[in-house]
A and B are shown apart, each in its own frame.
Chain A
Amino acid sequence: MTTIYSARKIITMNPSRPEATHVAVRDGRILGAGSLQELESWGDYTLDETFRDKVIMPGLVEGHSHAMEGTLWKYTYVGFFDRMDPHGKVWDGVKDIESVIDRLMEADALIDDSDAPLPAWSLDPIYFNNERVTRADLDRVSTTRPIGIMHASGHILNVNSKALELAGLLKTGINNPGVPLGRDGMPTGELKGPDVMTPVGIHVGFDRDMLACDEQGMIDFAKLCVRSGVTTATDLAARLPDEAVNMMLDVTARKNYPARIVPLRYHHGVTPEELIDHALQLKTQSTDRLRLGMIKVVVDGSIQGFSARIRWPGYHNGAPNGLWYISPEHLRHIINVSLEKGLHIHTHTNGDEATELVLDCMEEGLLKHPSPDHRFTLQHCQLADSAQFRRMAKLGMCVNLFANHHFYWGDEHYKLTVGPDRATRMNACATALENGVPMAIHSDAPITPLGPLFTAWCAINRLTASGRTQGEEEKIDIDEALYAITLGAAYTLKLDDEIGSIETGKRADFAILEDDPEEVDPTKLKDVKVWGTVQDGRLFPAAAL
Chain B
Amino acid sequence: MVGPAVAITPFRGNPSGEMRMIEIRVDEEACNGCGLCVKDCPMGVFELKDSVSSPVHPENCMGCLSCHEICPAQALEHRGVVPCRRMYVSMKVCRMLNRVI
Chains A and B form a bound pair: no
| A interface residue numbers (CB < 8 A to B) | none
Give residues in B with beta carbon < 8 Å to A: none
